[in-house]
Structure 1
């Protein structure tokens, strides 16, 4: 792997501000964003640190249980007026927000790099995804939410239709790995549906969520409709569950299952996006070079800290050697670095716990006989949390990373000779979030994709084709989650559907002087007739 310096050329003359990162937003700007978070008077603050340097970035107030409950009460008051607005007016806020995000992207690119340790191109993926989500719901939400007429039980005499009402106040618990994109995918449709939102972003990447919150209010979102609370799940998680009219969580499978158990007795809805151990299948007719190029992005974007990134590659024996050689060469050509700019291809891991987990998985595999084809070591010379993109072979089921999610820049290559075996191996996991297929035959790729047990499958792409197509629902099967975000489902899940029917003329029970048996015979003939005309 090549590396880039932490500061280069013209950037070396830019003043160092927060986190010891050259060109980062000022400490005053960070403090301004933090003031947008609610609560924090009665709980010890938390200090976040920049992954590139390990130095402090912000002091974050931590809300208490009581403060969170108060915020929910205030959000309920604000929600009533917001829900009373026509859906088209609400979606206009998102249209304006779309333009603001693209116009002001430089600042948020800096913040995402500062907080998450991403390369700038990976940070831009978040900007583009967020703009796409705002644009989609800014265009389509009013139509999706509009009242709908349906055929009544008796033509011309039964008028029937359905309405969509907002749930109320939606609780959103967001992860640290994609602080901008995942905030938008959960918060924007909830707002478009007429709900208020109380969001708890992860402390590590709270500034990015707070920045988006600031822009939303600049775009015309009324104050109080979207509230942000900062805090530890152990301290405020119960309040979020108890007060939410719908709960949306992205994170680990064990935590998701625990939250689902707590929500269930309240009979309120929830959606969960959880872990993954995502496979890629390279079919024998695929171009080894193109597949290798796609695999690099699929495996190492955001240093592999992406719920839909690939951790298992199944390559047909006929092209395994060619693919592996190309993939290793392209992996070794990646530039690692921690500057604010487009000089690096891959940044660092985000936390010490992630670094320990990745290193433990690799060392466990190495000690049990896995072959490290490239990478396999930390790079403290670049920064405290850098780890080389790593490719392994000869991985066996007794190794932890064979089945456990690594969530880092580590991938294993497995050969196969029969496509049926590859499909079976890809599905042999408790997870089912994302998968990909590389092939020279699009029909064959689609056919294989349809047999993979994953919520999203990409053909000749790792994850971005489904991730960026906001009209498609996104979510997991099996232990990878429950419910979907994006698309119509990602909006309508935040609503309660109400059915209304108005009857006129003919009654749906026999008139007083008509014998019930005769009425039933007449209705039977009518039902047969209705089936023919419908």
Structure 2
């Protein structure tokens, strides 16, 4: 197959160089990678086959044991060196993220900083999270109980195109710190972000071969990867997540799945409307809306609805739409034609059902072949596609509410439950309302960045938005097996030979009663 015209804008021909770092069993057809900015080809990677997955997993296993034997403090130091390297190579990484994913440079910058913060967080806290922990023993003073955390072995990661650096690497870092190897399957559209990041990991001290990258099509290699690893992390659509979970269940592979969202925001009359507009415009249109925690539904208390809508539309119209490598633009391109078609279909369906388009609502081929204007809709009926289904594009619906309880009910009227936002001057009320929203995370007086940056707090979904959590202790413990070691200090806990069974049972009952009284006095006692 002859190569298409390759874009001269790809810095230092890094696409061709990195593609050569993918190890395959034999000759493989090329998978051409194109930039959404122009649809020019950036380079090619091998379209791997199931046999390549088998080899990648085997190679990772060969390296994993020696990595796990290194003190966790040494592994943490590697993560800190990696964070330093990401910052030092920031400009190059921004170029790759933008060219592959089509996003604005600021949105790409958020990815780079996320990787640095995640690496730093787990390097600092991981050794404490995974330290052997004394537990309340069965018989205080006589029994010692300790919980240990061991790596699961080889972790598989199937990651999407919308945040190709963050989701490929930030999910992997705690797995590596815990002593695991990793096999990463990046999205077909964005493999070069992952390949460059793995290079930086190895330069920072991760042993060669510990992290394997399998490029290619999900329907070719995905099932084999799920079946071959010891833990699987997946980020993507709910439909694909169900298929991944079914395969994992057949092979008893534990999983963490972050799936879709139809995220709501509630704006109360006492909110600072300037803050709410700024926050929600960014929260709705970051990465052209191709963000699992972006807002697609905004509900505003009726007394301030008109003012909020006017200010929101004005702020949306002031966003700069563009497709290049500068910081001059706020909103970039959609990733591919299929994503653009979904956006156009949802907006057209809403129009046919009587919705009002206040701004946007059209493709902007003059800016870029896959660019679409940030779009604000009102008067959207509940049966419209854009009201029910995840759009995953630069489209947001806004509606008024009169009763706060009804607003919470509308926010919860979805099978998804990933993220939400509440805006009010009464922070206590905001937190109380947040607790009533059925979502894995809720931000009060912020869109999502404060939540995402809180790496010591878990993040994930409920319902059709997935299972499992990233960040915090949850984000590293999931990559381990817990082992309990109990040590008996005097004699084993078996009936005393000299006592009849009924007497031994009575003595044990007395002991349990005494133990309950002791634990009520000191519930945190340790044996």
TM bin, normalised by shorter chain, reads: over 0.9
Give deviations 1:31-89, integer Å, cap 9, x for gaps: 22222223273432111111111111111111111111011111111111111111111
Q: Helix, strand or coil for the counterpart of 1:306?
A: coil
TM superposition shift of 1:241: 1.4
Structure-2 residue corresponding to 1:510 = 495
Structure-2 residue corresponding to 1:134 = 119
Is residue 2:214 matched to residue 1:229? yes
Is residue 2:4 matched to residue 1:19? no
Change (3 A) 1:439 1:18: farther
CA contact 2:226–2:253 (8 Å) conserved in 1: no
Structure-2 residue corresponding to 1:47 = 32
Is residue 2:200 matched to residue 1:215? yes
Q: How does 1:313-392 map to 2 (within 5 A)?
A: 313-392=298-377
TM superposition shift of 1:92: 1.1
Q: Helix, strand or coil for the counterpart of 2:209?
A: coil
CA contact 2:227–2:253 (8 Å) conserved in 1: no
Structure-2 residue corresponding to 1:119 = 104
Q: Which moved more, 1:192-201 or 1:29-38?
A: 29-38
Distance in 2 (alpha carbons) for counterparts of 1:466 and 1:89: 29
TM superposition shift of 1:509: 2.0
Distance in 2 (alpha carbons) for counterparts of 1:364 and 1:156: 69
Change (3 A) 1:214 1:195: same
Among 139, 162, 178, the alignment partner of 1:154 is 139
CA contact 2:131–2:149 (8 Å) conserved in 1: yes
TM superposition shift of 1:18: 5.6
Distance in 1 (alpha carbons) for counterparts of 2:438 and 2:275: 24
TM superposition shift of 1:205: 1.1
Distance in 2 (alpha carbons) for counterparts of 1:92 and 1:204: 32
TM superposition shift of 1:238: 2.1
Change (3 A) 1:40 1:34: farther
TM superposition shift of 1:377: 0.4
TM superposition score normalised by structure 2: 0.96
Q: Helix, strand or coil for the counterpart of 1:487?
A: coil
Q: Helix, strand or coil for the counterpart of 2:315?
A: helix
Distance in 2 (alpha carbons) for counterparts of 1:54 and 1:133: 32
TM superposition shift of 1:463: 1.1
Distance in 2 (alpha carbons) for counterparts of 1:18 and 1:337: 21
TM superposition shift of 1:526: 1.9
TM superposition shift of 1:434: 0.7
TM superposition shift of 1:20: 5.0
CA contact 2:79–2:120 (8 Å) conserved in 1: yes
Distance in 1 (alpha carbons) for counterparts of 2:135 and 2:387: 51
TM superposition shift of 1:507: 3.3
Distance in 2 (alpha carbons) for counterparts of 1:40 and 1:446: 54
Is residue 2:165 matched to residue 1:177? no
Is residue 2:459 matched to residue 1:471? no
Structure-1 residue corresponding to 2:399 = 414
Q: How does 1:368-517 map to 2 (within 5 A)?
A: 368-517=353-502
Which segments of 5 or more consecutive residues in structure 1 lack a partner in the other structure? 1-16
Q: Helix, strand or coil for the counterpart of 1:161?
A: strand
CA contact 1:378–1:385 (8 Å) conserved in 2: yes
CA contact 2:20–2:45 (8 Å) conserved in 1: no
CA contact 1:33–1:207 (8 Å) conserved in 2: yes
TM superposition shift of 1:371: 0.2
Q: Helix, strand or coil for the counterpart of 1:407?
A: coil
Distance in 2 (alpha carbons) for counterparts of 1:286 and 1:278: 19
Q: How does 1:294-305 map to 2 (within 5 A)?
A: 294-305=279-290
Which segments of 5 or more consecutive residues in structure 2 lack a partner in the other structure? 520-527
Distance in 2 (alpha carbons) for counterparts of 1:18 and 1:119: 21
Give deviations 1:217-262, integer Å, cap 9, x for gaps: 1110000111101011111122101111111111111110011111
CA contact 1:133–1:184 (8 Å) conserved in 2: no
TM superposition shift of 1:373: 0.5
Q: Helix, strand or coil for the counterpart of 2:38?
A: coil
Is residue 2:165 matched to residue 1:192? no
Distance in 2 (alpha carbons) for counterparts of 1:302 and 1:310: 12
Give deviations 1:121-162, integer Å, cap 9, x for gaps: 110110111111100111111111111111322222111111
Structure-1 residue corresponding to 2:260 = 275
Q: Helix, strand or coil for the counterpart of 2:11?
A: coil
Compute the RMSD of aligned alpha carbons: 1.2
Is residue 2:260 matched to residue 1:252? no
Distance in 2 (alpha carbons) for counterparts of 1:386 and 1:361: 16
CA contact 1:18–1:25 (8 Å) conserved in 2: no
How many residue pairs were aligned?
A: 515
TM superposition shift of 1:399: 1.1
Q: How does 1:19-98 map to 2 (within 5 A)?
A: 19-21=7-9, 24-27=10-13, 29-39=14-24, 41-98=26-83
Distance in 2 (alpha carbons) for counterparts of 1:531 and 1:249: 43
Give deviations 1:199-232, integer Å, cap 9, x for gaps: 0001211111111111101110000111101011
Distance in 1 (alpha carbons) for counterparts of 2:507 and 2:367: 83
